[in-house]
């Protein structure tokens, strides 16, 4: 049975992930929709959210927290893109995405140990920018929107906790740039990826020209993909190093949750420190500077209760219970 803890925030009360114990319907709210976070006990996998429930919410970005059934301190947060039909990123969707990030930055990264980014649909992760809305913008408004989108992707990349993108279907343009801002990408066999902006006489503007070559480790390959606008399959993306796992259709979220629980059950201070050490170390000018960054981050874990708990659990042959302290 899955238990839920309601906190008046962002998630519609109709939202369900997996099986939820039956109970009385929530009473209607007169003047504004009632939203809440739903903390669920969770096993190692999750099924897709019922489309009719999630799309009925009216929210274009859905935030959900799930606690592991064996460790209530191990919480994974899912961010679901929820704008039919193609998760095209318009002004409203971007604002809701920013609100979710602000909430994570302000409060929830203290308890959330991993973020999984997914879509309401198996057919599309995100088709990128809302071009119909873009056509109504002035040149200045378009520039401001792209700058805002670029800054938002950087905010997600700078979260101190791991972010995993679970990709089903199409991830092109800004949709791929969202994936590039994640730490790990998991694709179903039906996923496809591309940056087609040059076919519209523009360039990727939310980090694509910078993150793609760094991720692929090949400037020439990134140039080819950007200059031709060619879309690649999940298998090609895996071979290029763009994604880390390719799974069966409709299994990307399940794999992402499996991986996120493995991360969430490890020492949270260590996970954060290692992410910072890797990110800052990769930007260091030389190995000496990079190793000094590693030393500084190792020093963060030495005085923690979690480190002592890990040693005790190993000695006693039991599963450690980390609290992020």
Query: Does residue 209 have a pLDDT over 50?
Result: yes
Mean residue pLDDT across the chain: 83
Q: What is the largest CA-CA distance in the chain?
A: 65
Q: Please give the Cα distance from 37 to 8 (Å, whole number).
A: 7
Q: What is the model's pLDDT at position 44?
A: 34
Residues designated catalytic:
129, 174, 177, 197
Range among 11-20, 78-87, 216-225 rated most confident: 216-225
The architecture that CATH gives domain 4-264 is Alpha-Beta Complex (3.90)
Residues of the chain with CATH 1.10.12.10: 268-316
**pLDDT 10s digits, 45-55:** 333 333 444 44
Q: What is the model's pLDDT at position 221?
A: 97
In this structure, which CATH number among 1.10.12.10, 1.10.8.60, 3.30.450.40, 1.10.630.10 belongs to the domain 268-316? 1.10.12.10
Mean pLDDT of the region 257-261: 95
User: For the CA atoms of 141, 143, 145, 147, what is the dihedral angle to 10 degrees?
Assistant: -150
Query: Does residue 219 have a pLDDT over 90?
Result: yes
Comparing C-alpha atoms, which of 203, 192, 191 is closest to residue 227? 203
Residues of the chain with CATH 3.90.226.10: 4-264
Q: What is the model's pLDDT at position 37?
A: 33
Handedness of CA 234, 236, 241, 246 (dihedral sign): positive
Q: What is the model's pLDDT at position 108?
A: 55
Query: Does residue 144 have a pLDDT over 80?
Result: yes
Mean pLDDT of the region 88-106: 91
Q: Please give the Cα distance from 200 to 98 (Å, whole number).
A: 26
Q: Please give the Cα distance from 234 to 242 (Å, whole number).
A: 9
* 86-112: burial string, b at 16+ Cβ within 10 Å, e else: bbbbbeebbebbbebbebbeeebbebb
pTM of the model: 0.82
Query: Does residue 14 have a pLDDT over 90?
Result: no
Q: What is the model's pLDDT at position 237?
A: 97
Residue 314 tokens read as: 């190993």
Comparing C-alpha atoms, which of 53, 36, 145 is closest to residue 90? 145
Mean pLDDT of the region 181-193: 97
| Alpha carbon distances (Å) from 264 to 74, 75, 107, 259, 285 | 5, 7, 17, 9, 31
Q: What is the model's pLDDT at position 324?
A: 84
Confidence of residue 57 (pLDDT cuts 50, 70, 90): low
A 10 A CB-CB count for 132 gives: 9
């Amino acid at each position: 049975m899955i238990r839920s803890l309601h906190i008046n925030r962002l998630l519609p009360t109709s939202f369900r992930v997996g099986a939820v114990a039956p109970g009385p319907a929530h009473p209607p709210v007169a003047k504004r929709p009632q939203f809440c976070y739903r903390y669920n006990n969770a096993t190692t996998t999750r099924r897709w959210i019922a489309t009719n429930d999630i799309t009925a919410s009216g929210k274009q970005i859905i935030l959900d927290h799930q606690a592991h059934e064996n460790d209530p301190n191990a919480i994974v947060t899912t961010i679901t893109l929820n704008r039919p039909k193609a998760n095209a990123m318009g002004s409203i969707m971007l604002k809701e995405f920013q609100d979710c990030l602000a909430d994570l930055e302000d409060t929830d990264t203290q308890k959330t140990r991993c973020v999984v980014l997914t879509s309401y649909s198996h057919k599309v992760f995100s088709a990128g920018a809302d071009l119909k809305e873009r056509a109504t913008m002035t040149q200045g408004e378009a520039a401001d929107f792209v700058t805002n989108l670029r800054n938002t992707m950087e905010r997600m990349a700078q979260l101190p906790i791991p972010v995993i993108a679970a990709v089903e279907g199409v991830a092109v343009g800004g949709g791929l740039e969202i994936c590039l801002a994640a730490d790990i990408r998991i694709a179903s066999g039906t996923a496809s990826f591309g940056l087609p902006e040059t076919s519209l006489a523009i360039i990727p503007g939310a980090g694509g020209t910078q993150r793609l070559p760094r991720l692929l480790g090949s400037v020439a390959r990134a140039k080819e993909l950007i200059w031709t606008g060619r879309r690649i399959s999940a298998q090609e993306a895996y071979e290029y190093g763009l994604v880390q796992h390719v799974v069966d259709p409709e299994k990307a979220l399940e794999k992402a949750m499996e991986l996120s629980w493995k991360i969430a059950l490890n020492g949270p201070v260590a996970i954060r420190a290692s992410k910072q050490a890797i990110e800052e170390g990769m930007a260091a000018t030389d190995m000496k500077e990079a190793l000094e960054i590693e030393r500084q981050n190792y020093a963060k874990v030495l005085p923690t209760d979690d480190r002592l708990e890990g040693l005790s659990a190993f000695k006693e042959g039991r599963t450690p219970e980390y609290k992020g302290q």
